[in-house]
Structure 1
Amino acid sequence: MIDLSSVGNTDGNPLFYDLPSTLDEFLYSYNPCGPFTELTCVDVAACQYSPYYYTGYDIGVPDKVSFNYDGLNVIANYVSQDGTRQSFITLVCDPGAATPSLDVMGESTTTQYYMTLTSAAACPVPSPFGSSGGISGGSVLLIIFFVLLAVYLATGVAFNKFRRSASGKELIPNLNFWTELPALVRDGVKYSLSLVCKRKSGYGAV
């Protein structure tokens, strides 16, 4: 899980403003988590600005973003409001980068724009539910087991108390079974070990 909530402005201005590109002559602005407005770019996450025509182009809005993993980094894919342009922001984890930085490649192909955000905020943080994002199957089975055990004990004790007028250890449901269980387990272990020892000793001559 990556949390970018600490990165970006919330006052309607972009964190990165009019940065030059390595591929074209446009300037680019970007704000990771909050919308901003720049000229004709209204409530966007990313804007391409032409210094010659004084025009801004929406290249991604914050409510149209998806995240993908390329095997090394997470990539944020923003889509413009009209769906015609896309921005791909590669999120690079750098624990020592207290101040985030943005490298702008620009328009690599028509209507597709590429940037790289380097920040400590791009580093994974532990998920409260583990790596799968949910409770594991083993945890679910344990929860079910203990819930059923509690229901079994509560029902058994209530039945023995009110229907059989039992008291003390007689309240325990199926008392004879639980009393004999340790001996049964012991016998089972002994039997299993005896089979293992016989296999290790090999076969007799025919």
Structure 2
Amino acid sequence: MGGTDWILLSYSNGDPYSQHCKQTNRTTNIMIVCDPVNLKGKFQILEERKKKETGYCYYLFELSSSIACTITPVKKGLSSGSIFCIIFFTLIGIYFSVGFLYKRLVIGAKGIEQVPNYSFWKDFGNLQADGCDFICRCGPRHEEHAYRGIDDQLPKEEDDRDDQLLAM
């Protein structure tokens, strides 16, 4: 158990008492109280309760520590990140819903043409790849041609012979 400036640890089912407390198992309670100055302060015994009639016996210790000072109540509610995600996905849903309805009812589009800004969404993956190439790669991209085009082997215009096209 704990509060704003204390923690109570309870340990039960210890060794049984031999002659008193109706031979019940030993119980120990450690109360950790707030001491903002020390991490590990005084450890002292406060009480040893041995009532023969009731059978409820325990040891009570006290420890002062700065650990007990850091307990804060748990905040309830949504974080700013989850609020941002809710707003973002709501706006995306509204964008697509209104866009579908507008293109279907006003423009009269059918099928895949109903998607708002369809050409953008069709090229969206390629645009991301181009952006990644632009940011992550250094220098311009040079592509090597695996073959030489037929235009490179054609003769000049004054030479009308087509012998260069025949394999030798």
Query: Normalising by the residue count of structure 1, what TM-score does the alignment of the two structures yield?
Result: 0.35
Q: Which has the larger radius of gyration?
A: 2
| Larger relative strand fraction | 1
| Larger relative helix fraction | 2
Q: RCO (CA 8 Å, sep 6+): is it higher in 1 or 2?
A: 2
